Structure 1
Amino acid sequence: MTQTSFLSIDPVTRRVSLDARDPAFYTDPNKTYAALHASCPSFYWEEQKQWFFTGYDHVNALLRDRRFGRQILHIATREELGMPEPAAHTRHFDKAEEHSLLEIEPPEHTRLRTLVNRAFVSRHVEKMTPEITELTNRLIDDFEKDGETELLSTFADIIPVTMIARMIGIPEEMGPQLLKWSHDYVGMYMFKRSRADEEAADRSAKEFADYVRQVIAERRAEPRDDLLSHMIHTEHKGQFLTEDELISTTIVLLNAGHEATVHQIGNSVRVILDSGIDPATLFTDEKTTERTVEETLRICAPVHIFQRWCLEPCDIDGVSFKRGDKVSLILAAANLDPQKFPEPLEFKPSRDEGANLSFGAGIHFCIGAPLARLELNIVLPLLFQRLPGLKIAETPRVKDVYHFHGLERLDLTW
């Protein structure tokens, strides 16, 4: 039996009590994940009333297992499953999510993903290298002479939202507003969200959708060379995206296209500086840079959990599930499985033990992974090369936004 102020693990029953809002947990969840791996990698989380999986092989397999899906109401009714009706105060949020790539299954998922996938393949994304490099250098130019900066507001917040806005065809000056909508929106995915969080997410979802609807109307009238125009005017097997599908897809691409990458830039800089390894040795060439980026993604992933509905009865790791049960997969914990990654809590950019699961796997593998990886592979080397002697000025605070993982602020000096 493991017992702390915020965590209780019974390895016999595989029952775990864990307060996800306790700073001792969300500030450094990796320690808790290590304890879970040691006691019961598959466990029932009492507060969440769900089974969770942390083992690399289980998480990797379940992400690809077609007996599980992101939606359930395409094969069963709310009445059959004993699900309550949707809440009235989140109706705008629910509407915006109705056709989200993250929330739907084939054949709808296949059709929507086919229409946007081409824009995100590596060879297309790599054309953005000069733009990302120019923006990164310009931002560093703004604060280099100061000898200090708060990296999230002056750097990490700006690059991903600017690039995804350019790609989709949203004016760059909308960046701050997109960040506000996005922060409110993802509040719906936090553990123990409050009524106020839900109302803020719903309000921002309505404003976001109204704005996207207006831009769609402009692109219908005057198409441009951007992703939104492409989605509006391209058909798949004789079908075009509906207005609601266009709105849902645009919102999810804007949110997913920057929220996690903002967190990851901050997380990566922190873990590199905390490691004591000379940054100059981590970015000597393309290969070492890629390995460094992948190791930061492994050890401090920005998104920790994805959930799945059980679509048909099955047994996983000795646990029986019925149709309509929900299970959760802790991607960040799978990245720390000692069976897959020896000494998993150690930051080792020289690792060669296989892929991390920070972008998921299967049909819902993150469509923006090539863009996020490109941004990290450009941004991190430039930052450390331009600012030798980079140091953390004061211990960063981690945001209370689990199951996301990111910093409140990152104060640096050089």
Structure 2
Amino acid sequence: MSSEYPQDPGWAEQRGGPDSPIVEATRDWMLMRDGEAHRRLRGLANPVFAARAVRETAPRIAGIVHQIMDDMGGGPDVDLIGSLAAQVPIAVFCGLGGLPVEDSDLCRKWTDALGHVIDPAVDGTTRAAMNDAAREFGAYIAEHLARRRADPRDDILSRLLLAEFDGQKLTDDEVVANVMMFFMGGHETTVNLIGNGMLGLLHHPDQLRALRADPGLVRDGVDELLRYDAPVQFVARITTDDVEIAGTTVPAGSKVMVLLGAANRDPLRYRDPDRLDLSRKDVRPLSFGGGPHYCIGAMLAKTEARLVFTELVSRYRDITLSREDVVWRRQVNIRGLSELRVDLVS
């Protein structure tokens, strides 16, 4: 199975052609490289997202979460997506990455446009938007990278710039491309983990009460939230050889969709899979993928979500849906809410 979709002429053409800004950028994304090329990129970036590094930054992340919630306040009809879930991951990555936090809205605009690159089909509007974003965001990151080269600091840009693995370093193009990828991947998964997770808790009030009584449940419970309503519903691969699956031969060169959301609800793996249960044992969701391409930022995303849910139940004594008709985003593989209106009572 191969992840190297930028090498597929049809995939590249649909996104603007092989020389388009977005396709050129994805050629350097570790997400879309295989074998030794992937191992090299992953090895260079791994220390930045290792468990120890994330634990060390947790107090800074908590400070960002608290500030965003202070700004959000409470009261009736609060949009938990726009006011909280969509704010946290961008602000966190700007803050940890070495980019101005005041540019969060600009980075979010570019990130939202880039997110369509993994859609199964792309129309003219999204094609133009993602290529504009790749060009503009790439130039923006390159500008800040040049500043970090002259003045390294304790941030992700500086660490990527200085990282070495087997005597090799990242090129500037690789740093720029993968920082864009980190923004896209970290934003999409974390926003939807928070939004989908909160909606799941609101639809299972017994679990929300359990979390309020014991906020420590969120430590392992975040995996149950990921299992119950996966932020990313499927991943795609290209077969490089004939592959037999359940007695059927899938020919080489086929595009294969792996349905993560369905796997997470497999009744052969999880008892009563359509029920949210924060105390469920042995939960290992596929929401962040698996194997060599397991999401490099999974620990960071889960840390952000744990801090958000812990703060929500401690700050607000009552959280209820303002309206039942929640608004979902119009994407196929990215499952997330564009709005989640709630009443927050302090």
**Same-fold call, TM cutoff 0.5:** yes
Provide the rounded CA distance (Å) in 2 between the counterparts of 1:376 and 1:334: 22
1:409 aligns with 2:339: yes
Pick one of 123, 148, 157 that aligns with 1:228.
Answer: 157
Whichever residue aligns with residue 178 of structure 1, its letter is C
Q: 1:404 to 1:274 in 2, by over 3 A?
A: same
Inter-CA distance 108–308: structure 2 relative to 1 (3 Å threshold): same
* Structure 2 residue 25 is the aligned partner of structure 1 residue 69: no
Deviation at 1:317, TM superposition (A): 1.2
Name structure 2 gaps, 5 residues minimum: none
Contact 1:151 1:266 survives alignment (8 Å): yes
Residue 131 of structure 2 corresponds to residue 202 of structure 1: yes
8 Å Cα contact 2:224/2:277 also seen in 1: yes
CA distance in 1, matches of 2:34, 2:243: 19
Q: How does 1:15-30 map to 2 (within 5 A)?
A: none
CA RMSD of aligned residues (A): 2.0
2:218 is matched with: 289
After superposition, give the CA deviation of every residue in 1:135-189 in whole Å (9 maximum; x if it has no partner). Answer: 2222323343544421112111111111112222111111111111111111222
User: 1:89 and 2:19 equivalent?
Assistant: no
Return the match for 1:300 from 217, 223, 229: 229
The amino acid across from 1:71 in the alignment is: E
1:334 to 2:263 alignment: yes
Aligned-pair distance for 1:350?
2.1
Matched with 1:350 is 279
Equivalent pairs: percent with the same residue? Answer: 29
Structure 1 position 271 matched with structure 2 position 200: yes
Shift, 1:314, TM fit: 2.3
Task: Judge conservation of contact 2:90–2:104 (CA < 8 Å) in 1.
Answer: yes
Deviation at 1:284, TM superposition (A): 4.4
Q: How does 1:109-120 map to 2 (within 5 A)?
A: 109-120=38-49
Question: Counterpart of 2:89 in structure 1: which amino acid?
Answer: P
Say if 1:404 and 1:72 are closer, same or farther in 2 by CA, change over 3 A: closer
- 1:381 positional shift: 1.8
Separation in structure 1 between the aligned mates of residue 177 and residue 6 of structure 2, nearest angstrom: 18
Deviation of 1:239 after TM superposition, in Å, equals 2.2
> Per-residue displacement from partner, 1:17-55 (whole Å, max 9, x unpaired)?
xxxxxxxxxxxxxxxxxxxxxxxxxxxxxxxxxxxxxxx
Q: Tell me which amino acid in the other structure corresponds to 1:311.
A: T
1: CA distance, partners of 2:165 / 2:338:
42
On the 8 A contact 2:28/2:178 being kept in 1, the answer is yes
Q: How many residues align?
A: 340
AA of the residue aligned to 2:220: R
TM superposition score normalised by structure 1? 0.78
Give unmatched runs, 5+ long, in structure 1: 1-67
Q: Matched residue of 1:320: which SS?
A: strand
1:46: which partner in 2?
none
Aligned to 1:399: 329
Q: Take 2:121 and 2:224, find their aligned partners in 1: how far apart are those partners? A: 30
2:103 counterpart (174, 198, 204) = 174
Deviation at 1:355, TM superposition (A): 0.7
User: Would you say 1:253 and 2:154 are equivalent positions?
Assistant: no
CA distance in 2, matches of 1:234, 1:138: 31
Q: CA deviation at 1:72?
A: 7.0
| Conserved? CA contact 2:207–2:278, under 8 Å | no
> Please, which moves more after superposition, 274-283 or 351-360?
274-283
Choose from 75, 83, 86 the match for 1:154.
83
Q: 1:199: Cα distance to partner?
A: 1.2
Q: 1:131 aligns with which of 60, 64, 74?
A: 60
Q: What secondary structure is seen at the aligned counterpart in 2 of 1:149?
A: strand
Residue in 2 aligned with 1:18? Answer: none
Structure number with higher helix proportion: 2
> Displacement, 1:358?
0.6
Structure 2 distance, partners of 1:111, 1:192, is: 30
**Secondary structure at 1:210 match in 2:** helix
